[in-house]
Homo-oligomer: A and B are copies of this chain.
Amino acid sequence: MTVSILDEVGGRRPDVNQQNCPSRLVLEHVTSRWGVLVLGALLARSYRFSELRRTVGGVSEKMLAQTLQTLERDGFVHRDAKPVIPPRVDYSLTPLGREAAERVWELARWSEQWLDTVESAREAYDTRRGQSG
């Protein structure tokens, strides 16, 4: 941890609970709606833009481009523009991006696994609220 970073958070270690801590922005990028899914897809292999767009259901061209650019700027995604005709651009994870991706994808898989339980909890909650309301 460099001195400059420590200064930015007021001489303390990064702390996501602090309103102005820049670590919040790192967390928000890897947990963003499309960030999670893009990182997760790239865990399997590298992708071209159009392949990624087909894999991540519902993402617009604009949102995918923005998400990839944010993740590239943060050092999580490597953009490899190959000097071939026609032009070919491949996106892959950096070693740091892989660490983030493994963690968020674990959470995505967990969400799929417990969907049934969560939906039952919601029904029970709504029934309780309906009775008391």
Which A residues form the contact surface with B (CB < 8 A)?
A: 1-2, 5, 13-24, 26-28, 30-31, 33, 36-37, 40-41, 55-58, 72-75, 96, 99-100, 103-104, 106-108, 110-122, 124-126
Q: A74-B118, A96-B121 are in contact. List 6 more A-B contacts (CB 8 A).
A: A2-B116, A20-B57, A23-B112, A31-B36, A72-B125, A75-B121
Copies of this protein, total: 2
User: Once the chains bind, are A114 and B5 in contact (CB under 8 Å)?
Assistant: no
User: Once the chains bind, are B112 and A18 in contact (CB under 8 Å)?
Assistant: no
Give A20 to B74 CA distance when docked, in angstroms.
Answer: 29
User: Once the chains bind, are B23 and A28 in contact (CB under 8 Å)?
Assistant: no
User: Once the chains bind, are A107 and B27 in contact (CB under 8 Å)?
Assistant: yes
A27 to chain B, nearest CB (A): 4
> Given the known A-B contacts A73-B122, A73-B125, are A55 and B111 also in contact in the complex, defined by CB atoms under 8 Å?
no
Contact residues in B for A106 (Cβ distance below 8 Å): 103
Give A75 to B124 CA distance when docked, in angstroms.
Answer: 9
Give A118 to B24 CA distance when docked, in angstroms.
Answer: 12
Give A118 to B8 CA distance when docked, in angstroms.
Answer: 14
